[in-house]
Amino acid sequence: MKQFFKFVLASVVGIIISAIIIVIIIAGIIGGLISSAGSEKTVDVEPNSVLRMTFTTPITERTPNNPLAGIDFLGLNKDKSTGLNDILANIRKAKTDGNIKGIFLDESYMTSGQATTEEIRNALIDFKKSGKFVIAYGEIYTQGFYYLASVADKVYINPKGMFEFHGFSSQITFLKGALDKLGIEAQIIKVGTYKSAVEPLILTKMSDANRLQVTSYLGSLYDHFLTGISKSRGINKDTLYNYADQMRVQFPEDALKLKLVDGLKYKDEILDELKKRTNTELKSDLHSVELGEYTNSTPDKDDDNSSSKNRIAIVYASGEISGGEGDDNNIGSERISKALRKVRLDDKVKAVVLRVNSPGGSSLASDVIWREVMLTKKVKPIIVSMGDVAASGGYYISCAADSIIAEPNTITGSIGIFAILPNLQKLFNDKLGVSFDGVKTGKYADLGDVSRPLTPEERFILQNSVNHGYDDFTKAVAQGRNKTQKYIDSIGQGRVWTGTQALKIGLVDRLGNINDAIASAAKKANVKNYKLVSYPEQKSFLNQLSGDVTVEARTRMLKSELGDNYRVYEQLKGITQMMRTPQTRLPYDIVIK
């Protein structure tokens, strides 16, 4: 018996020691990878180089703080992504970099929103003022990539490639039929004729009001798309409309014949042309630098004001709005509020740019952030720069600023509020055979219980709460935009607008990008030399490692299993997060194809 316990003890000790050794080895591997990948070595750019830009992953507002990006390790995404902040900075830097002779737009899909694409496109237009070239090439041109590429000096497509040019469409997935089969009723309390976020739960097709607003903003987006291409390619806008409407482009040869592209070439022919443009011998390798690598090249001296004591703070508010801390991809009211308080109390910060890219979310959390914007406005200028989306709660947190700048194709507005409370009585009783019983000390003690439908009195109470929230929302917008509350209600009601439309009705002050917002903030603060500082501080890689690995691995698995149905899963997941709490949120997820 003693011998048995001896062996057991030895085995346990052996397992513990082995586990410790494995942990040490893994820690060493991670440490080594972090050391090598995160060393931030300065990249030397060869003379006569080309800046190669590819966009095949979603573009975030800021480059993720991930030194292991680009390394397929522990389930991490091996695709290194570059944030919009670094993309714009790199294009601006390349404009004056003597070693960079031009930009090569290569094989991109542009999964980003339209306003993000607009910012990059405008940066390329500005880059061309230097006299340097921009060449675009793709085997497949999505409409998003073509819109970007259309500003290039030359646009080339693979002779056997694909060219999409067929107009815009937007589709909504309706879930009412599935909920009915499950015995689930979505009890809706809302304010806003156009507040259609709840429609997928209670209808099987678009309401007339929703169809009207979608037709309106989709038409506005498409008009801007065609106008931009018309100006860049020198083709009449009505002609472009007819090309798309009649599906005139079915093969690369069609795109060439209609002058949408400049040539049909294979990749080796493109590389040869780039060599000629950079005075590189055809037998030699082309000198090129990747977008992500170029971030670590020598800084632009004209852009270096690090010695200045003045600061302009950029506070990034990106993602859905909720209470708590949030992260770089989700707006936590506590985290953003802390950032706004910090820049407000910092005497070195002379002005603030609030960069908003959000469909909204919690009404309460939105109001918490709105309060901090109001307080900041009292002591220093604060300018809002809108990204792809700044709607509903995203507009709520913007409306108190001194000025609001949006892109023409920003999605904004959606001033409305709603709440969803599920009634699962049929699911429990008829489908699962489960019933409930209990006692309560007051008539409304179990208000919100999902095992039964709302009573008329309870629905009145909840409707009153939502009405009160809408009144607060419209008052805040009226105060911030110097309009009457009656007028805001007339353009509110949950209606979605593009940036171009929002300018006409007074919801934004001008059209422009984040650099325009920075310049506006500097002018209002009367400072010429300043340093840009970003808030909130990004979480360290080690702090987010375990969570990111788990979330990304789960997301990858679900996307692989569900395919195109992953969007439906995301929609259901979003609905569960919206339950019970009043929401100032954009109607559904707008996807333009």
Report, as an integer, the average pLDDT of 374-392.
Answer: 97
In contact, 216 and 501? CB cutoff 8 Å: yes
| Cis? peptide before 536, omega within 30° of 0 | yes
Q: How confident is the model at residue 579 (pLDDT cuts 50, 70, 90)?
A: low
Higher per-residue pLDDT: 266 or 555: 266
Report, as an integer, the average pLDDT of 271-299.
Answer: 91
CA-closest candidate to residue 405, choices 507, 473, 522: 507
Return the domain boundaries, the chain: 49-165+249-294, 305-435+447-539+558-585
Question: Is the per-residue pLDDT at 72 higher than 90?
Answer: no
Which of left, alpha, beta for 329 (phi over 0: left; psi -120 to 50: alpha)? alpha
pLDDT value of residue 385: 98
pLDDT value of residue 417: 94
Q: What is the pLDDT of residues 513-527, one digit of tens each?
A: 999 999 999 999 999
Which of left, alpha, beta for 350 (phi over 0: left; psi -120 to 50: alpha)? alpha
Report, as an integer, the average pLDDT of 37-61.
Answer: 83
pLDDT value of residue 81: 72
pLDDT value of residue 36: 44
pLDDT value of residue 577: 56
At the top level of CATH, which class does the domain 49-165+249-294 belong to?
A: alpha beta
In contact, 316 and 539? CB cutoff 8 Å: no
pLDDT value of residue 3: 47
pLDDT value of residue 39: 46
Fold match flag (49-165+249-294 vs 305-435+447-539+558-585): yes
Q: How many CA atoms lie within 13 A of 359 on its CB side?
A: 14
Active site residues: 195, 392
Q: What is the pLDDT of residues 137-171, one digit of tens each?
A: 999 999 999 999 999 999 999 999 999 999 999 98
Structure tokens given for 191:
């304010």
Give the CATH number of domain 305-435+447-539+558-585.
3.90.226.10
The Cα-based distances of 335 to 131, 351, 470, 493 in angstroms read: 43, 19, 25, 29
Question: Is the per-residue pLDDT at 262 higher than 80?
Answer: yes
Alpha-carbon distance of 519 to 529, in angstroms, equals 11
H helix runs in 129-234, sequence order:
143-149, 176-182, 199-202, 208-233
pTM of the predicted protein model? 0.87
